[in-house]
Every structure is written in C-alpha cells, then in structure tokens.
Amino acid sequence: MKVEVVEKIDRGFEIKFRVGKESEFKRNTLFQKVEADDSESFRIAGGEALKRVEKSIELGFLNISEIAISEKKYLREVIEGILLAHYSFQKYKSKVKKSPILKLFVKGSKESVKLAKTVVSATNYTRDIVNSTPNEMTPQRVAEIGEELGKKKKLEVSRLYQKDLKEEKMELFLAVGKASVNSPTLLKLAHRKKGKKKVLIIGKGLTYDTGGLSLKPAEFMKTMKADKSGASAVLGIMKGVAELDLDVEVVGFLGLAENMVGGDAYRPDDVIKAKNGKTVEVLNTDAEGRLVLADTLTYAQESEKDFDYILDIATLTGAAVVGVGEYTTLIMGNSEKVKSKMLKAGEDSGELVATLPFNRYLKEMISSKTADISNVGSSRYGGALTAGLFLNEFISEENSKKWLHLDIAGPAYVEKEWAYNSFGASGAGVRMVLQFLMNLEK
C-alpha cells in the first residue's frame, strides 16, 4: 500500500476514529469504533477499519481502492495498525489474492508518517523471513539476506563461517549444527554511531529445529521454521535503525544453525566446553537455542567493548508460552531499571510484555554432577526462568546489569489472526526494540 501525505482530505474513502461509539458507515465515510483512548486501541482500530473496508469491497457494498485518514493524537499508531493489517504472506501461492486497497492518504505530520512506515517495513521484513520455509531459509541464506541488507543500508558487515567458529572455540554453537548438511554461521551487522548509547542485540537463528536426537513429536515440529524469529527480528531491527539513522550505536549478531538428526549429531550425556570455558552437560538436544546463544553472547561481549546494553531475542521456551500465553514476550534480567525500560518500550510500541524474576533456588536446578552446568533444569517447573538463568552463565559479571533476555516464543508465530496480525509471523520484538532504541535517543 502506498502512503501519501496530503494537505487536506479530498480524495479516497475517509476513515474517522471515535472512542466508545459503535462503528458505522455514513456516505463516503467509515466511523470506526475505538475501545479506549490509548495508543494500542487506536492501532488495533486502524487494523479493524482496514479489514472492515476490505470486507465491504469484497461483498460489493463499496467500490474503492483508496482510503484516507486525518487522526491527530494517534496518527502514527493508526497508520501502523492499517499497514500491519495490510500485510499478507503469499510467497508460495500460485494465485495471489491482493488487497483492493492500493493507497492511503494521510493528513498530518510527515515525521509520524515516516516513522510508522519505517517501523512497519522493518516488522514486515522480519515477518517475510520467518514465514519463509526451511528448504529456502538455510543458515547460509539468512546470512546472505543479512549481508545484502548490510550492503544496501551501509551497515558494517562481518561473518564467521564454520572454520571460523572452530577457531573461536564456539563448540556449543558447532555441536547444534553438526548433523545438518547446512553448516552453521554467525553474522554481525553494525550501525556505527558515536551517539549517546551503544547496544548489542543477539538473535537466536535456528532455521529449523527437529529437536535433534531428543526428537520433537511431529505436531510440535511443524512450525519450527519460526525458530529463527530472534535472528530475523535482529535483521528487521537493523533495517529500521539504519533507515531512521538513529543516534545510537547498534550491533546485531545472528547465531544461525539447523538442529537435525544424523550419525554425527550431538547427544544427551555429551559434555561440551563453551567459548567462555564453562562445561555444559547436554541433557536434552531440543534445548539447543540456548547453546547457540551462549557462545554468541560470549563472542559479542569479547568482540565489542564499552557498550551500555546487551539484549538477546529468542523463541527459547515453550514454558514462556505456558506462563504468559501466545501473545506476550517474557523478559528477564538482573537490572530492574533495564527491565522497566523495555516494559515502557513494549507499552509504547504495542507489544505485550511480562517480566519474571530470577531466584537463587531455580539456579540450583541447572547444576550438574558431571559438568559445570546442564542445559536444562532438573524439574519440569520454571523452564522459562531456568533457560534465562542458563544464559546468565554466559554474561560476564561486568555486563550483568546491562543484559536483558527476551523470550518471544509466544508471539513470534501464532497460527491464527489476532489484532492487526495475520496468521503466522508477527515480527515480535522488532517494534519494541526499535522503540527501546528510540527512547535512548531522548
């Protein structure tokens, strides 16, 4: 959908938003109900309005291809809602069904329009990668997409191949990808700015996860193309950062691998030495994402210095989904101040966020009698937290208060429509982290 800023609304079917009153069509206007006077309600209303107009066109009640809005207070949010709802993934369809709405006229701030378009473009870019299938999106292909992005957006780009991972002694990372014909790789993208703050963002990129020898049941395996959502989100965030030219130095790391089954697969009972020197007893090969993240977190801290925040984004645990549902990102860390900043960014961006506290007793659950730590907890309870505590073992003491873990297992890929999100990938984490970064500029 093309978006055009105009001085006055004299073209297109107009959509007007009003709080508390029921939606209705009057002449050449849709009066769209908004549930409450807050930003997310207007974002949702924007998406609902688009769907209502599209349905009316489909039923023959309207014959239009252009819509117009002039919302003042929540202009950015309404545009985001409309553009996010307009998204449709039909890459593998032989017959593509296009939206009848081709253009959006906007009366209002050019800055708000640009911001909304950039944030949604970054989100939809991520959705496209996550929705794409594993036979296409191998670790190498996702890295190539990142390299293409870096070249186009003038980001600093570097990459570690399998031999480089061996030289870096990233044995946890390598173990996960051992049984795949598609070798693991690590991509680094940097937006270099001598700005107020410096932020490292690490993304889990399992382009497919069978569970390894701890094989997943077929029903649980079918959406595992979405296990690359964290790394895909990092790509979307870097795209948004570059296009907004934020006055924040941002460095993204993508840990890309494929967890498959084979004669050389890593096994339960294996003990593997991590890049930071700690030994890990593998009790379940389906707890692989934390192994890739562990070495990538260590590499990020060693390759970049003098940073203010280090974030990781991952579809890490089913326990997070059990705990807070499909729509909410779960965050953990050692600093209440950093957690509160991300909670604020979630509220500002429209992404749902919840936080869970670490405690000393859960830490005991990842102890091992054979190695320094184990890769899963000794109890079925508290799985999201024990996964976060595992990652905490790979954050140096000096960076402990800078780190935040985002478990996006719930909202990253939902098999139904919700709010302004279509079936499949939502681009979870992109809008929230971009907002976090924009808040640091202030």
**CATH number for 72:** 3.40.220.10
State yes or no: pLDDT of 339 exceeds 80.
Answer: yes
Q: Could you give phi then psi for residue 273, rounded to 5 degrees?
A: -90, 125
State yes or no: pLDDT of 417 exceeds 80.
Answer: yes
**Helix, strand, coil proportions of the chain in percent (round to 5)?**
40, 20, 35
Q: What is the pTM of this model?
A: 0.97
Q: Are residues 104 and 183 in the same domain?
A: no
In 3D space, the residue among 383, 328, 370, 376 whose CA is nearest the CA of residue 351 turns out to be 328
Strand partners, 31: 16, 24
Q: Are residues 326 and 407 in the same domain?
A: yes
Specify the pLDDT at position 251. Answer: 98
Residue among 239, 290, 402, 431 flagged as catalytic: 290
Work out the average pLDDT over 128-143: 98
Specify the pLDDT at position 442. Answer: 79
Catalytic site includes residue 151: no
Please count the CA atoms within 13 angstroms of the CA of 408 that sit on its side-chain side: 34
Q: Are residues 219 and 365 in the same domain?
A: yes
Computed over every residue of the chain, the mean pLDDT equals: 97
Q: Are residues 227 and 345 in the same domain?
A: yes
What percent of the chain shows pLDDT beyond 70? 100
Specify the pLDDT at position 253. Answer: 99
State yes or no: pLDDT of 368 exceeds 90.
Answer: yes
Specify the pLDDT at position 179. Answer: 98
376 near 367, Cβ under 8 Å?
no
Residue 124 located in a structural domain: no
Q: Which of 58, 73, 108 is the last residue of a domain?
A: 108
Largest separation between any pair of C-alpha atoms in the chain: 74
Residue among 216, 341, 344, 401 flagged as catalytic: 216
Specify the pLDDT at position 194. Answer: 84
User: Which CATH number does the domain housing residue 230 bear?
Assistant: 3.40.630.10
Residue 115 located in a structural domain: no
State yes or no: pLDDT of 377 exceeds 90.
Answer: yes
Specify the pLDDT at position 383. Answer: 97
State yes or no: pLDDT of 291 exceeds 90.
Answer: yes
- Counting beta carbons within 10 angstroms of the beta carbon of residue 289, is it exposed (0 to 12), middle (13 to 18) or buried (19 or more)? buried
Domain holding 390, by residue range, is: 132-441
pLDDT tens string 32-55:
999 999 999 999 999 999 999 999
Q: Are residues 155 and 211 in the same domain?
A: yes
DSSP E strand stretches across 198-327: 198-209, 249-259, 271-273, 279-281, 309-314
17 near 38, Cβ under 8 Å?
no
Residue 355 located in a structural domain: yes
Specify the pLDDT at position 195. Answer: 72
Q: Are residues 278 and 362 in the same domain?
A: yes
Specify the pLDDT at position 47. Answer: 98
In 3D space, the residue among 332, 330, 329, 337 whose CA is nearest the CA of residue 308 turns out to be 337
How many domains, in total, are found in the chain?
Answer: 2
Specify the pLDDT at position 56. Answer: 96
Residue 116 located in a structural domain: no
State yes or no: pLDDT of 216 exceeds 80.
Answer: yes
Specify the pLDDT at position 27. Answer: 84
Catalytic site includes residue 192: no
Of 177-181, 230-234, 343-347, 438-442, the one with minimum mean pLDDT is 438-442
State yes or no: pLDDT of 10 exceeds 90.
Answer: no
Q: Are residues 278 and 357 in the same domain?
A: yes
Q: Are residues 155 and 294 in the same domain?
A: yes
Work out the average pLDDT over 273-282: 98
